[in-house]
Amino acid sequence: MAATLVVYWAALCVGTHLPGHFIASPASMSDKSIHFLAYAVLSFLLAMLMNLMGVRGWRVCWEALLIAVVYGAVDELAQIPIPGRTAELGDWFADVTGALTGVICYWLTMVAARERVSRRWLQKKPSPP
C-alpha cells in the first residue's frame, strides 16, 4: 500500500509541475474533474495507509483530509513559476472536494468491511443449547 501511494503521489507531483504545453487533458474531462479525481484517489490511499499504520476512527479521515488539502494548496502555489501553469482557487476547491469525497469513500469502505466481517462472525457463531 505504501508503494502504491508513493508512486501515485510522485506521478501526481510530476504531472502537476510540467510546463503547460506538456499537458494533454482528455477531451471528455474538464480540468476540475481531473483535480477532483486525482485528490479523491490521493486521500483514499492516504487513509488506507494510515489505517494500516494503526491510526483509527475519525482521526484517519481528518488527517488524510488535512494532508491532501494542504498538499493541494502547496501544489497550486508551486505551479505559479512554471510556464503555462497557473494557481487557481477553483482548482484548489476541486482538490478539496475530491479529497473529501475520497475520505468519505474510505469511511464507507471501512463500514462495509466491518459489517461484512460482523455478518460472517454471527453466521459462524454456534447457537446456544
In a domain, 106, yes or no: yes
Sign for the CA dihedral angle at 3, 43, 72, 37 comes to positive
In a domain, 7, yes or no: no
In a domain, 1, yes or no: no
In a domain, 129, yes or no: no
Domain count, the chain: 1
φ/ψ bin of 23: left (φ > 0), alpha (ψ from -120 to 50), beta (otherwise): beta
Question: Cα separation of 101 and 99, whole Å?
Answer: 5
Q: Closest Cα to residue 3, out of 35, 45, 36?
A: 45
Domain that holds residue 88: 31-124
Question: Cα separation of 49 and 52, whole Å?
Answer: 5
In a domain, 2, yes or no: no
Contact 38/12 with Cβ under 8 angstroms? yes
Instruction: Give the model confidence (pLDDT) of 63-87 as tens digits.
Output: 999 999 999 999 999 999 988 888 8
| pTM for the structure as a whole | 0.84
Instruction: Give the model confidence (pLDDT) of 29-64 as tens digits.
Output: 788 999 999 999 999 999 999 999 999 888 999 999
